[in-house]
């Protein structure tokens, strides 16, 4: 369990300052919400409003894009 927590902290931490990045946390939560919405729609037949799913998708794409750009930019 300690290794899992350490891996999650490393995944969500910023490379420059070695602190938890809020952008990565928000993106990770939105990815989890997308997965829950997809699974509930596919297997349980619970409809998810298209505009809500699209909004979460935009947040994930923006978060991943900004995190990727930060990886290659100078400090």
Domain boundaries, the chain: 2-72
Q: What is the pLDDT of residue 69?
A: 86
Measured CA to CA, the distance from residue 65 to residue 71 in angstroms comes to 10
Q: How far is CA 31 from CA 2, 63, 69, in A?
A: 23, 10, 19
Q: What is the pLDDT of residue 30?
A: 92
Q: What is the mean pLDDT of residues 5-19?
A: 83
**Which tokens hold the place of 74?**
């100078």
Q: What is the pTM of this model?
A: 0.80
Q: What is the pLDDT of residue 42?
A: 92
Q: What is the pLDDT of residue 43?
A: 94
pLDDT tens-digit readout, 27-72: 999 999 999 999 999 999 889 888 998 999 999 999 888 888 887 8
Asked if 13 and 20 count as a contact pair (C-beta separation under 8 A), the reply is yes
């Amino acid at each position: 369990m300690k290794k899992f927590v350490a891996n999650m902290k490393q995944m969500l931490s910023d490379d420059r300052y070695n602190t938890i990045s809020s952008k990565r946390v928000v993106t990770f939560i939105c990815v989890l919400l997308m997965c829950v919405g997809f699974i509930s729609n596919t297997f349980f037949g619970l409809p998810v409003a298209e505009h809500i799913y699209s909004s979460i998708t935009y947040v994930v794409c923006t978060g991943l894009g900004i995190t990727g750009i930060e990886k290659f930019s100078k400090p």
